[in-house]
Amino acid sequence: MLARGLEGVATVAGRQGQPTRAARLLGAAQALREAVSTPHTLVERSAHERDLADARAQLDEMTWSKAWIDGQEMSLEEAISKALGQDSEPARQIVSPDR
């Protein structure tokens, strides 16, 4: 399903230091799931909740909310474009505390 693919890309984006992109894609995936009445299965739910929490922890509440709403308002074509990396935010450089 397409929503699952958007969620997968969102997970990768969040782990690569692109939490705003992750939030938008997660919002778009949620809107798509609601539009086609396809909720997460029990197996998917815990991983999805963890991915949401991970991305959300990287952003302040206002930035998260705006990105989530932006994602929910995207057309399917826009969501696919974002998932493919067009207009994505640059990754944050993650610096190890040992360096």
pLDDT digit string (tens) for the chain, length 99 residues: 799 999 999 999 999 999 999 999 999 999 999 999 999 999 889 989 998 999 899 999 999 999 999 999 999 889 988 888 766 555 444 444 554
| Contact (CB, 8 A) for 45 and 64 | no
Question: pLDDT tens, 57-79?
Answer: 999 999 999 999 999 999 988 99
What is the 8-class DSSP label of residue 87?
T
Q: Identify which of 57, 65, 71 has the alpha carbon closest to the alpha carbon of residue 19.
A: 57
First vs last C-alpha separation in the chain: 42
Tell me the C-alpha distance between 18 and 26, whole Å.
Answer: 12
